[in-house]
Amino acid sequence: MRASNGDKIFYIINYIVLALIACSSLFPLLHLIALSISSSSAIETGKVNLWPIGFSWETFNVLIKGTPLIRSFSNSALITFVGVTLSLVTTIMAAYPLSRPNFYARRFFTLSMIFTMIFTGGIIPTFLVIQNLGLVNSYWALWLPGLVSTYNMLLLRTYFENIPTEIDDAARMDGCSEVRLLLQVVLPISMPVLATLTLFYGVAYWNIFMSMLIYINDTDKHNLTVLVQQMIQSQSVLQQTMMVQPDDQVHVVEEGIKAAGVIVMITPMLVVYPFLQKYFVKGVMLGSVKG
């Protein structure tokens, strides 16, 4: 079916708007990359825009030597890996029984969890609970409060509900138990939505910030997000970083250090996303459309 002139105009406008939105997201990233690998003289004279000038890795060299970058990166990786694993397991354990029509009081438990999306205890009561549990200055204070995202649980529950009941019946006729049904039948065909939830949880744990400042007092346990924030806002931290110069003839400017720190922080998510992107749209849509 040929598109009408009105449809063509509509498509053209859509393409233009989407292109502008894409450029508005891409240009700041390209500018940061250019700043992080450009020479200091080019940055100071304002010549760097979207393309690096005077290619140099000295900014990253100073960043690694002058800050606890490796330690903070390791902390972020640990928090993300353990947090995503725990959250996925508990989300599956919550979503699967709530998706079974024969589960007693599933409506009550579902509404109870939805209630937490609207009303929360607040920062102070949550801190008092964490403090009384003895979890202050422990990564468990980051993992336990947000162990299950209600939105992610509902997404996964709806996906489980859309799985044809004939699959469950055939597995039970073969003598499959409920646990084996979940592990060997339901989860393998739910990879799209599980990959989507992995991305959601991964981004949340990697970028965790306020909870880190509230609950973690030991600076050696701080993650990469806190380190980059301190570099951007704290002049003393930035000056201490710039004191570590690899060579007297090499000069590194503040803008380059800040840009390099941001690039290091966002690179892992940029690397992981392409591997999960093919599941992203499919995982979200299959869990939200019935029929």
Examine residue 38 and state whether it is found in any structural domain, yes or no.
yes
* Judgement on whether residues 273 and 134 belong to the same structural domain of the protein: yes
pLDDT at 281: 60
Q: Residue 280: what pLDDT?
A: 64
- The pLDDT of residue 189 is above 50: yes
Q: Look at residues 13, 40, 56 and tell me which one is the last residue of a structural domain.
A: 56
23 with 106, same domain: the answer is no
Q: Give me the pLDDT at residue 285, please.
A: 56
Mean pLDDT of 93-105: 87
Count: domains in the chain: 2
Pair (119, 32) in one structural domain: no
- Per the prediction, the chain carries an average pLDDT of 83
Provide mean pLDDT across the span 45-49. 78
Using the predicted structure, report yes or no on whether residue 206 has a pLDDT greater than 90: yes
Could you tell me if 20 and 164 lie in one domain?
Answer: no
206: CATH:
1.10.3720.10
Q: What is the mean pLDDT of residues 245-259?
A: 67
Same domain for 165 and 192, yes or no, is: yes
Instruction: State which amino acid sits at residue 18.
Output: L
**pTM listed for this prediction:** 0.83
Predicted confidence band at 239 (pLDDT cuts at 50, 70, 90)? Answer: low
| 47: its two tokens | 């010549």
Q: Are residues 49 and 136 in the same domain?
A: no
Q: How many C-alpha atoms does 126 have within 13 Å on its Cβ side?
A: 14
Query: Contact at 8 Å (CB) between 188 and 178?
Result: no
Whether 277 is covered by a domain: the verdict is yes
Q: Is residue 291 part of a domain?
A: no
CB 144 within 8 A of CB 135: yes
Question: Confidence class of residue 276 from pLDDT cuts 50, 70 and 90?
Answer: confident
**How would residue 90 be classed by pLDDT, with cut points 50, 70 and 90?**
very high
CA atoms within 13 A of residue 174's CA, in its CB half-sphere: 10
Domain that holds residue 95: 57-286
pLDDT higher than threshold 80 for residue 278 = no
